[in-house]
Each structure stands twice: as C-alpha cells, then as structure tokens.
Amino acid sequence: MINDSVFDKFPNLETERLIFRQLVMEDASEIQFIRSNEEVMRFLDNDNHLTLEVSQKFISTNLESYLAHNGLHWVIIEKSSNHLIGDFAFWKLDKKNHRAEIGYTLKPQFWGQGFMFESMSALINFGFKEFNLHSIEANINPANENSRKLLVKMGFKKEAYFRENYFYNGTYLDSEIYSLLESDFNK
C-alpha cells in the first residue's frame, strides 16, 4: 500500500550536498528561469514558461496535486550556496499498482556534477522505502541522451518504445519508457 502519511507533512530530505524541500509559490521566478531555458526545455516537450503567471499556475497545480494525495514535488537546493538548482517530482501516481512517474530538471550551470544522480538516489530510495512504491517510471524523448544516461546509471531498464504517440507542437513524437523496480534498486 502507498504510504499516505507522506501527505500529512511534506517530506523534506537532505543529502551531503543537497536539500530537498517542497515546491512553494515563492519559487515561481526560479521555476520560470528553469522552464524558460532553451537547454532545459529542449527535450521536455512542454511549453516554455514565458511569463511568471505560467510558473505560478504550474506550482499551484502541483500543490493541489499534493493536497489531493496525487504527487510530491521537491525543489533541489545546493547547501553550500543555498541556491535553487532544480526540481524533482513523483507524479502520475498509480496507487493501485504502487507506481509513479518521475520528472526532473537542473539548471544547465549545474549539469555534469552528479547533482541529479545524488538527488535521484535519495528521492528514489524515499519512493521505495517510505512512500512504498513498487516501481518507478520515466518517459523520455529518445533524443534526450543526458536523461537516458542518468536513468541507466540509476539502474532503470528500457521497457517500451512508443512510435509517434505524443502530439506536441504539430508534430508526432516518439517516447521511450524506462522503469525501475524496487528489486532492481536494492541489488
């Protein structure tokens, strides 16, 4: 069973270099900064946050999702600089099958330093051990090499390749699905 008590008090967590805390409305300008960056958005296949209002709406949707016990959305803070460097979410929660999808971004200046690997290691551990997920899914644009590399390093296995199943901006895009079982993670 999914551990619903994580929705009573938001699970703020930390690792050696990072703090993970709940995404809140005050983060809107940082979220807009990330989600209007071309490098970040290149393979996200979601609309750019052209205005602050778009980010505010994004945050309120995610806060509502938490209140409805449907998802968890953290921002990632680098401890040494107290800088918001990215975000990580469990969403599309499939309670019956104890499964969730993950989404994540880092500001490009923080790529290549293992920050998302460190984040995923902690948050996926939380997902299996505390949240009681059985499996975790990631859906990537097949051209998103950085994301694929990270998922494979985390132990995710390729599960499916959907051809032209995602209609975005007038184009049908392919999707690659990766998944991690709790038993893969513990190996």
Ligand X SMILES: CC(C)(COP(=O)(O)OP(=O)(O)OC[C@H]1O[C@@H](n2cnc3c(N)ncnc32)[C@H](O)[C@@H]1OP(=O)(O)O)[C@@H](O)C(=O)NCCC(=O)NCCS
The smaller minimum CB distance to ligand X, of residues 5 and 109, is found at 109
Any bridge partners for residue 94, and if so which?
99
Question: What single DSSP character describes residue 22?
Answer: E
Distance between CA 29 and CA 83 in Å, rounded? 13
The smaller minimum CB distance to ligand X, of residues 28 and 154, is found at 154
Q: Which residues bind ligand X (CB under 6 A)?
A: 40, 43-44, 104-106, 111-117, 138, 140, 144, 146-147, 149-150
Residue 17 C-beta: closest distance to ligand X, Å: 8
Residue 8 C-beta: closest distance to ligand X, Å: 29
Cβ-closest residue to ligand X?
114
Residue 115 C-beta: closest distance to ligand X, Å: 4
Distance between CA 157 and CA 152 in Å, rounded? 7
Residue 158 C-beta: closest distance to ligand X, Å: 13
The smaller minimum CB distance to ligand X, of residues 6 and 140, is found at 140
Backbone angle region of 162, left / alpha / beta, with phi > 0 → left and psi within -120 to 50 → alpha = beta
Position 169, amino acid: N
The smaller minimum CB distance to ligand X, of residues 2 and 40, is found at 40
156 within 8 A of 56, measured Cβ to Cβ: no
Question: What single DSSP character describes residue 170?
Answer: T
